[in-house]
Amino acid sequence: MKGNIVVGQSGGPTAVINSSVAGVYAQAKKLGVKKVYGMVHGIEGFLEDKLCDLDEYLADPTGIERLKRTPSAFLGSCRFKMPKIEGHEDVYEKVFEIMEKHDIECLFYCGGNDSMDTVKMLSDYAKEHGKEQRFVGVPKTIDNDLPITDHCPGYGSAAKYIATSMKEIIRDNESFGAKKPTVCIVEIMGRNAGWLTAAAALSKDADCCGPDAIFLPEVDFDIEKFMDKVRELAATKSSVVIAVSEGVHDANGTYICEMGREVAVDAFGHKQMSGTAAMLAEKVAAATGLKTRAIEFSTLQRAATHIASLTDINEAFQVGADAVKAAEAGQTAMMITLERNGDDPYQCGTGAQDIHYIANVERKVPEEWITEDGMGLNEGYEAYARPLIMGELLPLYVNGVPSHLVRKK
């Protein structure tokens, strides 16, 4: 590549999204790229010409190692939706003006479904108007819902956190052995796809029974059947722990969390999910008199770099590096994908797929991995997910807590 490049981050952060930025930077420098810029707060910041020179942070190899261990989006994220091209050509021209100003030849965007839509639209505009700049998507989402790719960087680490925390919650809930059962309902992220909630199944091990039930948005939620399940469990157990996706909904498509209240929406029109566990815990307590507890992991499941999967970190770095290789080979309008080559031992390579088959497409948990009663996951899911949570990368501790690489404002 003769020109400079820029990399940005968008959407909800993950524990390993910064590893992808490190991969982009390392590979670009290996190829002799002079300047690797970072967008400050994604494409929204880029439209305001907000850039940082990554040499300032990553020229020293210790910077890359610190970045791999830093949660959230080092460059700053955004939830900015690019407008339709027709009638908003000025917005797209602004992107290319800034690219030309800084001699930027390639733009790399780390994100999920909506971010890949940004890559698609910028690529389409470039093609329609004879622009030579190239655009490559770098997959990132704890939701694991991008199509074509075997899995998404970010999911393995979130799954590892969820499995670990569920195991600890189960151990805690079992502590008292009370005659009157305690029902603990754990709410896990996932609007329409239940990949994260499914990870609760990975807490089951030789020393842990795992959750008593798991409810995914892929299966219509029936409150009466849920209550019957709770009563059945409470009749024989002093500790009941249930995992539920924030996005579970009834047969009419109404989210359980929005029953009886209004739910806010974000810039992309997505409803803001929260409160499912609390609402269900209240209903259980009112109907049964049982002691209940609601736990919501919220942002913890995407920010826990201290327990990130080493497999996930390495793969996130690799998709960033391979995005640069794809651009160097002249490819554009592509997203790097992870392609599993074996399970025993686990092996995974990468590929590059047309962004038009990926943007705005959502992949859900396969029906064949959900138990017949719709309240759990079978061995097929575990065989798929277990390799993704393997390995650890210890934090770099300072004063007893992990040290992070922080961008100057």
CATH of the domain at 181: 3.40.50.460
Residue 365 lies in a domain: no
Residues 325, 280 share a domain: no
Last residue of a domain, one of 257, 275, 302: 302
Placement of tokens 């590979």 in the chain: 27
Residues 258, 298 share a domain: yes
Beta strands in 140-282 (DSSP E): 182-188, 213-215, 239-245
CB atoms within 10 A of CB 297: 23
Identity of the amino acid at 342:
G
* Sheet containing strand 291-296, strands side by side: 213-215, 239-245, 182-188, 291-296
Identity of the amino acid at 71:
P
Residues 217, 85 share a domain: no
Is 203 buried (19+), middle (13-18) or exposed (0-12) by CB count in 10 A? buried
How does residue 272 score in pLDDT terms, banded at 50, 70 and 90?
low
pLDDT in tens, 81-118: 999 999 999 999 999 999 999 999 999 999 999 999 99
CA proximity to 376, closest of 225, 190, 201: 201
In sequence order, the β-bridge partners of residue 339 are 349
Residues 171, 292 share a domain: yes
The packing angle between helices 276-288 and 223-234, to 10°, is: 60
Number of domains in the chain: 2
Residues 227, 125 share a domain: no
Residue count (the chain): 409
Is 168:140 a contact under the CB 8 Å cutoff?
no
Residue 409 lies in a domain: no
- Secondary structure class of 193 (helix, strand, coil): coil
CA proximity to 89, closest of 128, 52, 134, 116: 128
- Secondary structure class of 228 (helix, strand, coil): helix
Instruction: Report the catalytic residues.
Output: 143
Is 22:315 a contact under the CB 8 Å cutoff?
no
Residues 271, 169 share a domain: yes
Host domain of residue 228 = 155-302
Residues 73, 39 share a domain: yes
Its sign, for the CA torsion 257, 263, 267, 268, is: positive
Residues 111, 27 share a domain: yes
Q: Is the pLDDT of residue 262 over 80?
A: no
Last residue of a domain, one of 302, 325, 344: 302
What average pLDDT score do residues 395-405 get?
Answer: 97
Last residue of a domain, one of 262, 282, 302: 302
Residues 13, 134 share a domain: yes
Residues 120, 197 share a domain: no
Average pLDDT, the chain: 95
pLDDT computed for residue 269 by the predictor: 58
pLDDT in tens, 338-383: 999 998 899 999 999 999 999 999 999 999 999 999 999 999 999 9
% of the chain beyond a pLDDT of 70 = 96
d(CA 19, CA 70): 9
Residue 83 lies in a domain: yes
Is 60:25 a contact under the CB 8 Å cutoff?
no
Residues 96, 123 share a domain: yes
Q: Is the pLDDT of residue 266 over 70?
A: no
CA proximity to 72, closest of 289, 321, 369, 306: 306
Query: Which range (124-133, 135-144, 252-261, 364-373) has the least confidence?
Result: 252-261
Residue 370 lies in a domain: no
* Angle (nearest 5°) at CA 244 between 153 and 309: 25
Residue 364 lies in a domain: no
- The C-alpha R_g of the chain, in whole angstroms, comes to 22
